[in-house]
Amino acid sequence: MKKNRSIYEIEVSQKFKKLGIKFEEEFRFDKKRKFRFDFILKPIKVKIAVEIEGGTFMGNSRHGFGKGFENDCLKYNLAALQGWLILRYTPNLIPQLWKDLRILKVIK
């Protein structure tokens, strides 16, 4: 089930397409848990996931408080134990995503 995408996720999705990067949205990486990544890069030779952490500075993000933060810890630890490289960005850090993908040689 697709969630409502944020404007930032739409921006990243459009740029992936423009750059010719193959990806999948809302990828469920564990069969037992309902955890999903915003994006994964394909093909999955190296497991790279991209997470856009929205609402960070608006005070309404579930990621920064209590149970939401704990669930994110569980999600990211489980993913790391399964061999995923998780790249996390706030909306202000999205330009860094493209620099990081160059370092990883995903884009030129």
Question: Does the domain at residues 7-60+75-103 carry the CATH identifier 3.40.960.10?
Answer: yes
Residue pLDDT, tens place only, 1-18: 456 889 999 999 999 999
Phi-psi region of 20 (alpha: psi -120 to 50; beta: other; left: phi over 0): left
Containing 40, the helix (H) or strand (E) segment is strand 36-41
pLDDT in tens, 70-89: 989 999 999 999 999 999 99
Spans of all domains in the chain: 7-60+75-103
Contacts of 45 (CB under 8 A, 6+ apart): none
Q: The pTM is what?
A: 0.86
Map residue 72 onto helix, strand or coil: helix
Q: How far is CA 14 from the centre of its chain?
A: 14
Rounded distance between C-alpha atoms, residue 84 and residue 102, angstroms: 18
